[in-house]
A and B are shown apart, each in its own frame.
Chain A
Amino acid sequence: MANAWKIARKSNAQLPLVIVIALAVVLVLLGKAQSGLFDKARAHVTDWMAPALEKVRAPVAGFDRWVGSIGEIFTVYEQNLKLKEENARLRQWRNVAIVLQGRVGRYQTLLHAVPDPKMNAVLARVIGRASRPFLQTMILDAGRDNHALPGQAVVDARGMIGRIYLAGSRTSWVILLTDLNSRIPVTIAASSGAPGNIQGIMTGDNTANPTLDMMLHTATLHAGDQVVSSGDGGLLPAGLPIGTVVADSQGGWRVALLADAASSQDVEILNFSKPPEALPATAQLPADAAGLKPMAPPPPPVPVAVTPPPKPVVVPKPIVAAPRPEPAPADAEDVDR
């Protein structure tokens, strides 16, 4: 194909090639150290492209739906039966959930439980998606002007999709839970009703099902266990539904996500900011910090006589909190005798 034209025999830029390669290497290292410069440029470009993306979005989404529905034409009848059955089952569960919700509310009132932090949410529309080899993201039409900030969780009606990692003035980029760089602290609740939750880290690897790394390696998981956000670190709210545990073909565990980022059109950006916990004063004792009643002040120490005493005097130590039993020293035992 290329030999259809006369070929210029030699490039006039052999020397710059070495310099340009060196520049590219520097760019990689600079990007690793200072990725904020690239992020700002991306945010500006996306803000600039946002009106065009919103206009193009409708026909592309329509085409996508049309292509996606071709295969479903032949299974409509089976799907309809399946959905009716599932709907009936979910109605039963809804009644159970309403009863349980009322009971939990009464228990919380009786126990004076600390209420869950209130969250504001911004409703945003998905105006772009990108599934690149090294990045899986979606672009929303809400940015800093709408109080969307990096780190905030993005959810749809089914569960968590990801979190914002780059916010422009009118648009924001979401790093999906499936992305290679996504790491979310999660809690795994046993579906069998076994007591105790397991803490872990859910890590994306650009496949549909992120992997699970357990904090406690002896923990036992079962397929079907529920995965929710743990809220560790205070960046994400606790209890956001994420997915269920599924077995890996290689003997590990993965998470089947509830939300489908490929089909979500409208999402919520959760504005969660946990109030910072007040630190106790540095001189405050642990028992006081925990709200326990302070104990009686210790007796004043016995003044040491100028002349050397015949026996060593044992000064009682003030007891602050529940002390651990310690073996008495040998000389103290002698004194007691």
Chain B
Amino acid sequence: MPVVVERARPAMGSLFQLRLIGDDAEHLADCAETALDEIERVERLLSWRDVRSETARVNREAATRPVLVDFEFAQFLATIKGAEKATAGFFDAAVQSRRAIVGADELWEIEAEHRLVRFTRSGVRLDFGAVGKGYALDCAAAELRRFGVSQALLDAGTSSVLALGADEFGNPWPVGLRNPFTARPELRGTWPLELGQLRLGDLALSCSASHDAATSSGAESDLLDPATGRPVTQASAYAVVATNGIAAEVLSTALCAMGTVRAEAYTKEESNQLLRDVVAIVRLDAGDDASAAPCVTPLLLRRSGVLV
């Protein structure tokens, strides 16, 4: 019988929970701690709130001069810049600045070869809140693999998951998709909590909802529309399964910002670089009254068995 070791630690405003499968409990525990340390390291790198982070240093200095960043951060920034381009700006790491800054296209630039970041004007703030967890999961998974752990589920709060290998029964890890709109008073008690199930093996999952239980009854969305810097108005939710956490996070966020019509068209773009990393995109439909049930609508499904 395989050994199961679980460890959890708060980071990035969420609780990261790890479930590791193997045959040596002590080794798995050491690996879990190492993976959690790696998540903490990524938080220290990315969090704009922490003055010690590289993001904070860039935010402080990049409007006045090019800022030299390390190789890892330069690579990360180049990936993010690529993601902004591949989503036509619907994913935007500087979205927090858009409310005050109107009409400027490129707010920040990365010269990957020289590892230099610069802002095109003042008032820009990079915020990797939408992708940080996915990147942390990617890095933590790499640490686990490095020490020979091939079966694990890494859960970053309720929105991002990375599955390594199979669960303790040898099956892809089952992950339930909860209806993000269930707390809407008019729907409460009418529909099931879980809308569907994903089966993940060596895949990352990210879910985004423009409006959730807390915001659906009138409060503003915390997702911002890059065109205006204002909260997204149309309620939508997506789950994206990809080969890496960053791609999953970028797409689930961008799709919410696009609105349903544009999002559906986007998932059909054949030559889109970012979509190549994607295995499945599903939309979670809220349902509006007793006649339209909340449901899961697959927009892209490249692998059978992922969506149950």
A joins B in a complex: no
Q: Interface residues, chain A, CB within 8 Å of chain B?
A: none
Chain B contacts to A: CB under 8 angstroms? none
